[in-house]
Every structure is written in C-alpha cells, then in structure tokens.
C-alpha cells in the first residue's frame, strides 16, 4: 500500500486531498496543529501534532512514505493575503523556513515525490483580463504571494532523479466546509438575506475535490513529466450573482441580486499543462451541487 504524508491535511484544502488519497488506496499520515475529529475521514489516518516553524524531527513520520504534500499555512484566521497580521517576520519564518525544513527532511527520509500547494497570486495583477501560463514571469505583490514563490524556488532547487518536486498553483478554492465550520460564502449569504447592498464581484475558483484529483495525478505521473515543474489549477470564473441566485430561489428572498461583474478584467490561469495529465474539473455542475448543499441551512431557517 502506498503511503502519503500530508501537512495541513485537516485544513480546508488539505482534507480534500486526504480523502482523495484514502479513496485511492493510500495509507495517509497527517501533520497538523489540531487532531482530526474521529469521523472526519472515511478511513483512519495517523496524526502527528506539530506547528510550522517548530524545531521538530519529522524523520519518523516520513520514513517509509512514498510522497509528501505540503498543504499547510500558518496565518491569521480567515486570511491568506494579509495573513501575517502584525508579525510579517514571524509569518515568513514559519511559512518559508518551516516549510523548507519539512521538504529537506522529506528528501533525507527517501520520499520520492513532493507536492507544494502554491497560489495564483504569485503571478501578480498582470494586465486586465490576462491569461497566465506557467512560463510567465511571476510578479507577486504581497508577502503571502512572495513566500509562495520563494518556496517554489527552494523546492525546485531540491529536485533530483530520486526526489521529484512539483508546485501546484491554485486559484481560490471552494467546496463544502466540515460540519459546524463556516462555509466559504456564509458572509455573502448573510449579507444578501439581510438586505445589505452587494457590490458586483467575481473570482477564479476550483473545487477542492478537483485540487485533490490534480495532486493524485501528479503523484501518479512519471517523475520526468512533473519533477521541477509548476502546474496551474483553476476551473472557472464564478460571479457573485451565480452564487446568490440559487439562494434567492430556494429561500424566496426578494432582495436585489448584485449586477454581474465585468469578467473581462479578471486574470485567469491557463491549465492546459495539467489537463495533459488527464485532469478534468467539475465546472458549473459541481458548483451547482455544492451550492445546493451549503444553502440548505438557510432554506431550513427561511
């Protein structure tokens, strides 16, 4: 049975990856801040408690594992950009030096493949409506994006014929949160139902399950196809009107929906490289199914 180690495996994105690998027959070990609830996953996982930036010997965790996925980020709650709060130095130390230490120990332990979850933010703003390719020069505009790019560089420099390294640049990720956890669009739902005016807005999105599938495909690919590489992962542009329309219909709320945003100004990522690994996304169908699921509490309360 192949074995995977996932840092941040109980986080919003990491738990999708954990579940995908469990379903694919992997034995999974998780490194995280908080122990997962007993019923969080469909199968048992091994858990090791640690915080990024701590001086921890991870060798016993990595020994005997085939792959390592880094999905962890130490940040202020609810924030990625701006996640440093009032401590940019500490933020950088934990997320750059702490992550590098994990990769070094994974390599030393004989891990064959390492995958780092990076972000579309590394490209910067670009021209309005730009389409970003993996070969484009990155131009991060904030500390979060800069650290993601620097981590990519560190990981790429570690690659060898026995240690394949890959960075996966994600757009914003959506999907149902765990029970009792706040859903991604809860604040938008609540603002709409309370009658607050909603400004037009749209964002590039990809479902967490599609991210997990991308990770699995990279792990299963021949090393020569992925090692030292960067792959973009996004599905589509989602407008706030697309998010709120099902809520309006389901609850009968008569509040005005926001106007559609001008999507022509939104930068997107070209994902042809990942699609050559047979990656496919759920598109509008998966978005609809997810919205149906996460608006149920609002229907019951209506």
Measured distance CA(126)–CA(266) in Å, rounded:
10
Q: Could you read off the pLDDT of 56-97 as tens digits, one per residue?
A: 888 889 999 999 999 998 755 555 565 556 678 877 888 888
Q: Per-residue pLDDT averaged across 19-47, rounded?
A: 92
Measured distance CA(199)–CA(241) in Å, rounded:
10
**Structure-block tokens of residue 242:** 């697309």
> In the chain, where does DSSP find H-type helix?
14-23, 59-62, 88-92, 98-108, 143-158, 186-193, 208-220, 223-226, 240-251, 272-275, 283-294, 296-301
Q: Could you read off the pLDDT of 147-185 as tens digits, one per residue?
A: 999 999 999 999 999 999 999 999 999 999 876 567 899
Q: Per-residue pLDDT averaged across 199-228, rounded?
A: 97
Predicted TM-score (pTM) of the model is 0.95
Quote the pLDDT of residue 284. Answer: 97
Cα torsion 39, 78, 185, 119: sign: negative
Quote the pLDDT of residue 36. Answer: 86
> For residue 51, is pLDDT > 90?
no
């Amino acid at each position: 049975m192949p074995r995977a180690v996932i840092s941040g495996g109980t986080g919003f994105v990491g738990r999708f990856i954990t579940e995908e690998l469990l379903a694919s027959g992997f034995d999974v070990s998780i490194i995280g801040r908080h122990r997962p609830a007993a019923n969080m996953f469909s199968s048992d996982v091994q858990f090791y408690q640690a915080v990024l930036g701590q001086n921890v010997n991870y060798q016993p965790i990595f020994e005997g594992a085939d792959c390592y996925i880094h999905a962890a980020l130490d940040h202020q709650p609810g924030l990625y950009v701006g996640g440093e709060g009032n401590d940019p130095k500490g933020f950088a130390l934990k997320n750059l030096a702490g992550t590098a230490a994990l990769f070094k120990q994974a390599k030393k332990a004989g891990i064959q493949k390492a995958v780092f979850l990076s972000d579309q933010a590394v490209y910067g703003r670009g021209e309005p409506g730009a389409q970003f390719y993996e070969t484009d020069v990155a131009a991060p505009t904030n500390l979060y994006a800069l650290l993601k790019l620097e981590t990519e560089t560190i990981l790429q420099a570690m690659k060898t014929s026995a240690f394949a390294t890959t960075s996966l640049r994600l757009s914003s990720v959506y999907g149902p949160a765990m029970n009792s956890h706040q859903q991604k669009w809860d604040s938008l739902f609540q603002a709409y139902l309370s009658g607050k005016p909603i400004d037009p807005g749209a964002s590039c999105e990809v479902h967490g399950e599609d991210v997990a599938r991308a990770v699995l495909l990279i792990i299963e690919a021949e090393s020569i196809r992925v090692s030292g590489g960067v792959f973009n992962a996004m599905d589509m542009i989602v407008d706030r009107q697309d998010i709120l329309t099902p809520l309006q219909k389901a609850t009968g709320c008569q509040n005005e929906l926001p106007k559609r945003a001008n999507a022509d100004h939104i930068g997107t990522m070209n994902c042809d490289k990942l699609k050559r690994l047979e990656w496919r996304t759920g598109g509008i169908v998966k978005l609809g199914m997810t919205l149906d699921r996460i608006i149920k509490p609002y229907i019951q309360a209506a």
